[in-house]
Structure formats: structure tokens, C-alpha cells
Structure 1
Amino acid sequence: MKKPFEFTRWSLRISLFALLMAGLAVSGLRLSIIDFQPALIGLAGTTLAGLLAIVLGLIGTLRAIKAKETRIASTLAGSTLGFLVVAPVLMTLMAGAGTPRIHDISTDLAHPPEFVAIKALRTPAHNSLDRLEPENLAALQKSGYPDLAPLLIPRPFDQVFEQAVVLVKKHGWEIAAASAANGRIEATDTTRIMGFKDDVVIRVQAVENKTQVDMRSASRIGKGDLGMNAKRIRQFLADLEKLLVETLSDPRSSNSQIRGITYE
């Protein structure tokens, strides 16, 4: 048995094992078979196994090249699969590198928008919404995300609220409540792969002849969020501003009389 292909075989076996581990961790968490921490341990094991598969695969490839084997392309199977398994985890970690270890982000640190309907959907096992931990939460957010601020739009309240609801639905978030009378929208965003649930509350209020939009996004589990809540707020407010500009420039658009309508 030739050594280059022995390394290749082990690389492929380990990468397939890593893929299986990843599938079990993700599906187990999404189906509530396992908790958050065991799922993360499973992903950590998946990452280590994937990295080992990459290393063994590369060793096999280099030895095949040195031995002038004709089947060099086949030696890349394990390392390629290992990379595909590891890449999403590493990319997520790299994107969240340097972000503060907090999970509750708001555009208004003095008076954050309050969750009302969402509270009934959270359990004692979930993160608290009292914003008391860590004690320096506001300072950490200011340091990590100094750009986050309310969106002030020169548009009528009705139009802004209506388009905010439209945008929440467009993002695929599950609406828990939307009350124009209270100027509040509450919804839950479920991440695509791991199925993590992050809760969102959007506060819309008239300020003189403009409309101010504040937003708060909080993870149900985990001490940190790798920057995902801040990213969600930035993206939503940018999309809302763009949507309102497009709506205003469309002569076919008209403001709906949405005040007083409540979705529960």
C-alpha cells in the first residue's frame, strides 16, 4: 500500500467523520435534542477533525507529487471536504474576532426599547432581558460598536411604521407583535445553520416633523454573539432607509392607514 494514498484515505475518513459530527451537532440543536453547550463542543470537535483531515490530505498530496504519482487529483478529496466543513466555523469566528462579549445590543443605551410580547416566548434558561450583565454593558457596546445610533427619518410615522413591518416580513423574521398605536414591532430571527433565535424589538416614534427608529437585538443563548446583533441592526436600519427612499420615489405608492392595527 503506497504511503501517499494511505494519508489520503485517512484524510477522507476523518473529513467524513467531521461532516457527520457537524450534521449531528446542527440537527441536534435545531431539533432541541441537545443543548447549546454540547452543540458548541461538537462543532469544536468538528473543526479539529476537519483541520486534521486537511493536514493529512496535504501531506498525502505532497508525497504523491514527490513520488510522481499520476493520481494526484484524487489525493485532494479529504483535504477539500475538510476545508468545506471547517470554513464556515472559521469564517464566523474571524468575523466576530475583537467584538465585545455581549449579547444585547440597542441603538438607545439610556432608554432601550422594551420587549413585551417576546417575554412570553423566553424561558428562565434564556439570557435575561434586564441588561444588568455585564455591569459595563453600555461601555462595552460604545467601545465595540460606536456607530450604532437611532435612525431619524424625514418621513411620516405611518409610512415608516408600515415599511418597517414590510421589511421585517421580507427578512423572514417571525413577528410576535406589531402595534402601530404603541409604535412597537417585536420579532424573532432564527439563524440559518445553527437555528439560534435572536429577538428583536423596533420602536418607531414621531419626533417633531420626523420619525425616529430605535432597535434592539438580543440573543436568547450565549454570553457573546460574535457581533451578529449589531450587524443585524445595522443592516435593518440601512435597508429601511433605502426602502423608504424607493417608496417615496415610486408614484404608485401610497401611505396605508395602519395606525391602530395590531398583530399579535
Structure 2
Amino acid sequence: MNKPFDFTRWSLRISLFSLLAAGFAVFCLRFSIIDFQPALLGIAGTTLAGLLAIVFGLIGTLRAIKAKETNIASTLAGPALGFLVVMPVLMAIMAGAGAPRIHDITTDLAHPPEFVAIKALRAPAHNSLDQPEPENLSTLQKEGYPDLAPLLIPRPSDQVFEQAVALVKKRGWEVAAVSAESGRIEATDTTRIMGFKDDVVIRIQAAGNKTQVDMRSASRVGKSDLGMNAKRIRLFLADLGK
């Protein structure tokens, strides 16, 4: 007689594999062992494996309940580990749902703040800073983030500049350039888990009796930023304007 398929055991095996594989992909990406595209493919694969582990585990749990087994909790180990793999990816997708497929966001579409020092830190394989694509980038940003606009602050420009520099450092961004003369701050924000680098330039200039602050945030890799650059700009300007 053939032994029935052990869904619980395979759920645990698959979930352990997916968890280790996802961790390995993240490790290799953060230490530049592999490029972001193979890493994302790996994470996509481990996410599917995590989903399979959850399905297998739940089937095993239902079978255990039907058989009136006493140790039901042990059947949930696989689904729990699979959940740990799947949830971060699903949360990122949900957070970026509806975001336009662009990766270079600015408060001034006509004359965006220009990167100077950051250019030397970006490789040819990184996204271009010349905003050549998509051709309708401005339209997509206006439709996706109609609220993004220059910030006017009723404080002297030198004071706002110092506050902006302090805020950049407080956020833990890696400062690439600080020029009080030109009112420009350049920095890089690295995401905690995946280690993706997004470059930021802040332009501060007097505007009558107020100070105008423009900001630009651009991802080094990827066609879409899942809304992260716009979110970064909103949060930074909100804190600076307090």
C-alpha cells in the first residue's frame, strides 16, 4: 500500500529552503556578489516556494484535524516559516500598488535639482540621471503624485540649509556633498533589508522673504520604485517644514 503524501513534512522542508534561499539572495545582493536582477528573481522564486509551503502546511493541518490528531500545532511550523518569507514581499507589493513605473521623482519637473557629486558614485549599469525614459515621465509623476511640489518655508535660507543638513544626517543617509554656496545637498539612502541605494539631491534657495526647497530622489536600479522615492520626499519635506 502506498504511503500517503506527507504534506506537513514537505511544507516544513520547502519553507526552510525558501527561508534560507531568500536570506542568501539578500546577502549576495547587499555585498554585491550578484546583481539586483538575479537577486529579485531569486526572491520571486522563494516567495512562490513560501506560498507552496503555506498551502501544503494548511492541507496537512486540515488532515490532522480530520484525523483528530492531538499534536495539531506541529503542522503549523511550515506555514509559519513560509509566512515569514512571503509577507515582506507581499507588503512591499501592496505598499507600491498603483504607483507609476518610474524611479526618478522631483518636486520641480521643469527644472529638477541637478546631481553633481553623486554622478561619480553611479556605475554605467545604473539608471541614467538624465531622465531619458520613460518619455512621459512628467505626466506619470503628475498623475501618480499630484501633491509633490516645492516647499516654501518662512525662515532664512541659511537656517533652512543647516536644518536640512542636520535632518539628512539624522536619517542616516550617506552624505556625498554639502554646498552652502549653491544651496545643494547630495546624499544616498540605503534600504535596510535589500540594500538598494536611492540618491537624493536637495536644492535650497531664497524666494522673497521665504525659502524654497526642492528635492529629487532617484533609484539606482529598477524601472519602478514602488512609490518609495515619492514617500521619501514627502516625509523629509514634512519634517523640514515643521
Fold match by TM threshold 0.5: yes
Gaps of 5+ in 2: none
Aligned amino acid, residue 180 of structure 2 = A
Number of residue pairs matched? Answer: 241
Q: State the TM-score, normalized to the length of structure 2.
A: 0.97
Per-residue deviation at 1:209?
A: 0.5
Contact 1:11–1:53 (CA<8 Å) still a contact in 2?
Answer: yes
Secondary structure of 2:83's aligned partner: helix
Cα distance in 2 between the residues matched to 1:94 and 1:106: 23
Q: Which residue of 2 aligns with 1:169?
A: 169
**Letter of the structure 1 residue corresponding to residue 94 of structure 2:** M
Hey, what's the Cα distance between the residues in 2 that align with 1:221 and 1:172? 20
CA distance in 2, matches of 1:104, 1:39: 22
Distance 1:70 1:29 in 2: 43
Question: Is the partner of 1:185 in helix, strand or coil?
Answer: strand
Question: Which runs of structure 2 are paired with 1:136-151 in the superposition (5 Å)?
Answer: 136-151=136-151
Deviations 1:9-28 (A, max 9, x none): 11111000001110111011
1:3, 1:60 within 8 Å by CA — same for their partners in 2? no
Query: In structure 2, what residue type is equivalent to 1:221?
Result: V
Identity over aligned pairs, percent: 83
Task: Confirm or deny that 1:195 pairs with 2:205.
Answer: no
Cα distance, 1:159 vs. partner?
A: 1.2
Give the Å deviation of 1:184: 0.3
Q: Distance in 2 between matches of 1:94 and 1:117?
A: 34
* 1:97 shift after superposition: 1.2
SS state at 2:94 partner = helix
Report the counterpart of residue 54 of structure 2 in structure 1.
54
1:126 maps to 126
Offset of residue 210 of structure 1: 0.4
Residue in structure 2 matched with residue 257 of structure 1 by the alignment: none
Residue 105 of structure 1 is matched in structure 2 by 105
Task: Name the structure 1 match of 2:23.
Answer: 23
Distance 1:194 1:145 in 2: 25
Q: Map of 1:72-87 to 2, 5 A cutoff?
A: 72-87=72-87
Structure 1 Cα separation of the partners of residues 103 and 90 of structure 2: 20
Map 1:203-218 to 2 at 5 A: 203-218=203-218
1:3 positional shift: 5.4
State the superposition RMSD in angstroms. 1.2
Where does the alignment leave 5 or more consecutive residues of structure 1 unmatched?
243-264
Partner SS state of residue 241, structure 2 = helix
Amino acid across the alignment from 1:85? V
